[in-house]
């Protein structure tokens, strides 16, 4: 009779260092959501926008908030690159966290000074963005093939704790703004960010540190370069032409800075470059074989396929992030108790996430499997995008009633918040683990950066819609529908989500999932 060795039969154990990472995330998310959730409310009522007339102040506050969010989700590109190429995840997280703390200090100290306040927003965008792709990826590094089945539990706990911090921030910080003033309302999140940094530092001797790999002659960038510039007998280089055209279009787009603004032009340029270079590389990728090993070429092809998944998720985030702007502005016009603020409705989102994650894992997903339907990551994400569209149908119907003169209690927003949150759990909580699992070991930080870049592009669609409704021709067409501008845009974004869900579902049916967890 043969017996298994203890090592073979020992149950997998959760790494002891995971609580430090999750504790750090709880405090950091309190700090971020605490300041973000009051940003629009503060800008509308402060003197920072005193030169803007009352009718345009809400639109300007919304523009600033979404521009800030674009920055937060753009800088992950820098953080991921620095971690993967030079400093490793731990050091990059620690140093960006200190910049993050400085940004919070600026908000608290310069709440009445425009330059100081916007400097603080910039530092937070830089610091929060820099660490954003790395914390989840760093947590993934703590697992290997021997306990990777516990990674899903850890990622769910990670996302649950994000919402734990967000819940209390959404409940308490709007009250701090109302009763204690902006200095305290922005100062308290700053203190929590300092605590987050300290907790992360405490676990430094327990972490698994995956060192940045040495410069790879077969890296993603080098394979892309070879594919674009390689010549094939009797053939042109259409992929290189496409990439060059995207560069020219990106540069030409800056001529629109005067009408669109620098933030929109930078984001459009980024989208054009990613699309042109990515499609051009795909077109000519086989030319890199022989110069680079098949594994490197196949890895680039896999990554390009992941980026298509990411691109199709961007409409979801254009809907999701507007709960902190469009939905707050709607809530300000609704009936509510005197002690309540519209910003506090956002507490529903993390509260529902904390309930839905265990419900889905313990009840919904096992029930679906019992009936023969496997809720794969891509299926869950498809459904999540569709649920976000349903949420915006409901919030649009509420707006129509309000536009007709019927007073609506803010409790009516509970249903769209519930639908949007279900969509978030299906998209975001799933997407974090999906992005990590699909990334080759040498590019985990960068691939996670691209995942977070989906939110930048999502906020770009919001800014473009805001620019569009400033055009007389567009507003004339909207007026012809009989809907107000807010109601029209709500239904527009709902349709945007439904089209995205359809495209995502069709693409997901052909996507081949891979497994890039590290070996034990």
Average of per-residue pLDDT values in the chain = 88
Give pLDDT tens digits for 340-391.
989 899 999 989 988 888 898 889 999 999 999 989 889 999 999 999 999 9
Mean pLDDT score, 476-499: 93
Q: What is the DSSP string of 265-323?
A: HHHHHHHHHHHHHHHHHHHHGGGGBTTB-HHHHHHHHHHHHHHHHHHHHHHHHHHHGGG
Signed CA dihedral, 129, 493, 42, 25: sign only? negative
More confident residue, 212 or 418: 418
The predicted pLDDT at position 208 comes to 87
The predicted pLDDT at position 129 comes to 87
Task: Please enumerate in sequence order all residues whose Cβ is within 8 A of that of 466, keeping only pairs 6 or more positions apart, or say none.
Answer: 59, 62, 63, 66
Q: Read off the pLDDT band of 502 (50, 70, 90).
A: very high
3-state secondary structure of 439: coil
* H helix runs in 360-484, sequence order: 365-370, 377-403, 414-424, 430-438, 444-468, 472-480
The predicted pLDDT at position 274 comes to 92
- The two tokens of residue 453 are 């870049």
Residue 426 has pLDDT above 60, yes or no: yes
> Taking a C-beta distance cutoff of 8 angstroms, is the pair 449, 79 a contact?
yes
The predicted pLDDT at position 269 comes to 92
Residue 2 has pLDDT above 70, yes or no: no
Low-confidence winner among 5-9, 22-26, 450-454 (lowest mean pLDDT): 5-9
Tokens 């298994």 sit on residue = 4
> Taking a C-beta distance cutoff of 8 angstroms, is the pair 441, 219 a contact?
no
Mean pLDDT score, 89-99: 94
Mean pLDDT score, 444-449: 68
Give pLDDT tens digits for 133-184.
788 888 888 887 777 777 777 877 887 788 788 889 999 999 999 899 999 9
Mean pLDDT score, 120-127: 94
> Taking a C-beta distance cutoff of 8 angstroms, is the pair 350, 170 a contact?
yes
Please tell me the distance from the alpha carbon of residue 363 to that of residue 356, in angstroms, as a whole number.
Answer: 10
Please give the C-alpha separations between residue 62 and each of 58, 161, 271, 459, 479, in angstroms, as whole numbers: 6, 27, 22, 11, 22
Task: Please enumerate in sequence order all residues whose Cβ is within 8 A of that of 62, keeping only pairs 6 or more positions apart, or say none.
Answer: 40, 325, 326, 329, 466
Residue 1 has pLDDT above 50, yes or no: no
Scored b (16 or more CB within 10 A) or e, 218-245 reads: bbbebbbebbbebeeeeeebebbebbee
Please tell me the distance from the alpha carbon of residue 357 to that of residue 352, in angstroms, as a whole number.
Answer: 9
Please tell me the distance from the alpha carbon of residue 422 to that of residue 391, in angstroms, as a whole number.
Answer: 10
- Identify the CA nearest to 319 among candidates 449, 455, 452: 455
Tokens 């003033």 sit on residue = 181
3-state secondary structure of 409: strand
DSSP β-bridge partners for residue 289: 292
Please tell me the distance from the alpha carbon of residue 289 to that of residue 458, in angstroms, as a whole number.
Answer: 35
The predicted pLDDT at position 76 comes to 83
- Identify the CA nearest to 421 among candidates 349, 371, 364: 349
First to last CA, the chain: 28
The predicted pLDDT at position 4 comes to 46
**How far does Cα 503 stand from its chain's mean position?**
20
Residue 3 has pLDDT above 80, yes or no: no
Low-confidence winner among 153-157, 278-282, 326-330, 419-423 (lowest mean pLDDT): 153-157
Scored b (16 or more CB within 10 A) or e, 105-135 reads: bbbbbbbeeeeebbbbbbbbbbbbbbbbbbb
> Taking a C-beta distance cutoff of 8 angstroms, is the pair 309, 508 a contact?
yes
Please tell me the distance from the alpha carbon of residue 272 to that of residue 52, in angstroms, as a whole number.
Answer: 33
Please tell me the distance from the alpha carbon of residue 81 to that of residue 6, in angstroms, as a whole number.
Answer: 40
Please tell me the distance from the alpha carbon of residue 310 to that of residue 211, in angstroms, as a whole number.
Answer: 27
Mean pLDDT score, 461-480: 86
% of the chain at pLDDT higher than 90: 48
The predicted pLDDT at position 122 comes to 94
pTM to 2 decimals?
Answer: 0.82
DSSP β-bridge partners for residue 292: 289
> Taking a C-beta distance cutoff of 8 angstroms, is the pair 469, 489 a contact?
yes
Residue 520 has pLDDT above 60, yes or no: no
Residue 291: CA count within 13 A, CB half-sphere: 19
CB atoms within 10 A of CB 476: 9
The predicted pLDDT at position 445 comes to 59
- Identify the CA nearest to 465 among candidates 474, 454, 456: 474
Please tell me the distance from the alpha carbon of residue 282 to that of residue 270, in angstroms, as a whole number.
Answer: 18
**Angle at CA 421, nearest 5°, toward 326 and 492?**
45
């Amino acid at each position: 009779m043969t017996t298994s060795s203890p090592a073979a039969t020992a149950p997998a154990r959760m790494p002891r260092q995971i609580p430090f990472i999750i504790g750090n995330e709880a405090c950091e998310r309190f700090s971020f959501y605490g300041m973000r959730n009051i940003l629009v409310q503060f800008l509308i009522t402060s003197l920072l926008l005193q030169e803007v007339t009352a009718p345009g102040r809400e639109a300007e506050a919304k523009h600033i908030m979404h521009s800030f969010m674009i920055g937060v989700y753009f800088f992950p590109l820098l953080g991921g690159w620095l971690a993967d190429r030079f400093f490793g995840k731990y050091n990059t997280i620690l140093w960006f966290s200190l910049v993050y703390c400085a940004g919070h200090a600026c908000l608290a100290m310069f709440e009445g000074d425009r330059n100081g306040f916007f400097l603080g927003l910039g530092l937070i965008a830089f610091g929060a963005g820099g660490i954003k792709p790395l914390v989840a990826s760093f947590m993934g590094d703590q697992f290997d093939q021997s306990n990777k089945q516990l990674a899903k539990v850890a990622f769910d706990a990670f996302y649950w704790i994000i919402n734990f911090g967000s819940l209390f921030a959404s409940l308490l910080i709007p009250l701090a703004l109302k009763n204690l003033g902006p200095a305290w309302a922005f100062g308290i999140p700053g203190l929590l960010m300092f605590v987050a940094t300290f907790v992360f530092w405490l676990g430094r001797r327990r972490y698994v540190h995956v060192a940045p790999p040495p410069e790879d002659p077969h890296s993603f960038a080098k394979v892309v370069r070879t594919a674009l510039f390689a010549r094939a007998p009797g053939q042109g280089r259409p992929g290189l032409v496409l990439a060059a055209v995207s560069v020219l279009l990106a540069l030409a787009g800056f001529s629109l800075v005067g009408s669109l603004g620098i933030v929109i032009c930078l984001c459009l340029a980024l989208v054009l470059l990613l699309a042109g270079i990515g499609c051009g590389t795909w077109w000519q990728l086989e030319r890199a074989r022989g110069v680079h090993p098949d594994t490197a070429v196949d890895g680039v092809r896999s990554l390009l396929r992941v980026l298509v998944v990411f691109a199709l998720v961007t409409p979801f985030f254009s809907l999701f992030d507007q709960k902190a702007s469009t939905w707050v502005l709607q809530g300000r016009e609704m009936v509510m108790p005197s002690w309540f603020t519209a910003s506090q409705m956002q507490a529903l989102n993390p509260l529902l996430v904390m309930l839905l994650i265990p419900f889905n894992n313990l009840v919904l997903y096992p029930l679906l499997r019992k009936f023969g339907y496997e809720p794969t990551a891509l299926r869950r994400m498809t459904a999540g995008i569709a649920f976000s569209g349903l949420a915006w149908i409901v919030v649009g119907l509420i707006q129509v009633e309000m536009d007709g003169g019927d007073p609506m209690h803010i409790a009516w927003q509970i249903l769209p918040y519930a639908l949007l949150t279900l969509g978030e759990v299906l998209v975001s909580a799933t997407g974090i683990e999906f992005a990590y699992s699909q990334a080759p070991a040498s590019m985990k930080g960068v691939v996670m950066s691209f995942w977070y870049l989906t939110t930048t592009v999502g906020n770009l669609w919001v800014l473009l819609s805001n620019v569009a409704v400033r055009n007389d021709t567009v507003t004339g067409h909207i007026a012809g529908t009989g809907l107000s501008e807010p109601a029209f845009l709500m239904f527009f974004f709902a349709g945007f989500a439904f089209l995205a869900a359809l495209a995502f579902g069709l693409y997901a049916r052909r996507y081949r999932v891979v497994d890039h967890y590290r070996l034990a």
